[in-house]
Amino acid sequence: MITLKKDDIVLQQHFSNKKEAIRAAGKQLSNQGYVSADYIEKMIERDCLTTTYIGNMVAIPHGTDDSKSLIKQSGIVVLQVPEGVDFDGNQVRLIIGIAGLGDEHLALLSSIALVCAEMENVHQLIAAESKEEIIDLFKEEVIA
């Protein structure tokens, strides 16, 4: 089970483009000890292959299949971008960086999808003024 901690969350971010946003998510994953710094470029590479935008103003940047060796432990980070950042014509206001070892990658994606499928949840995540509010919204799922 993955635990979303306060240090995994960054509020009120501003990015000029998606690469900057993905790099920030990767840097946060690296700072938290989930991945090595080399994972960040694999996140950019992955988004170039297939967009990491999943709808409902949410993007879930993560590494390529060949970047699994760069993951130290499973974890997620949440970056709140209230003003949004453009992901190939889609406004993204919530960036959830993912690093999953083995099958945990799919479990993380599933949990995030369950939370973010409801627009009400996404709006609450975007409007959250504290890290605790974000943690509470994910508590219903596996990653809390």
Q: Which domains does the chain have, with CATH numbers?
A: 6-138 (3.40.930.10)
Query: Per residue in 55-72, pLDDT tens?
Result: 999 999 999 989 999 999
C-alpha angle with apex 141: 140 to 144, nearest 5 degrees? 85
Told to judge if 62 belongs to the known catalytic residues of this protein, a careful annotator would answer yes
C-alpha R_g of the chain? 13
Query: Per residue in 126-144, pLDDT tens?
Result: 999 999 999 998 876 545 4
* Annotated catalytic residue within 14, 62, 105, 123: 62
Q: Mean pLDDT for the chain?
A: 92
pTM of the full structure: 0.93
Distance between CA atoms of 44 and 40, rounded to whole angstroms? 7
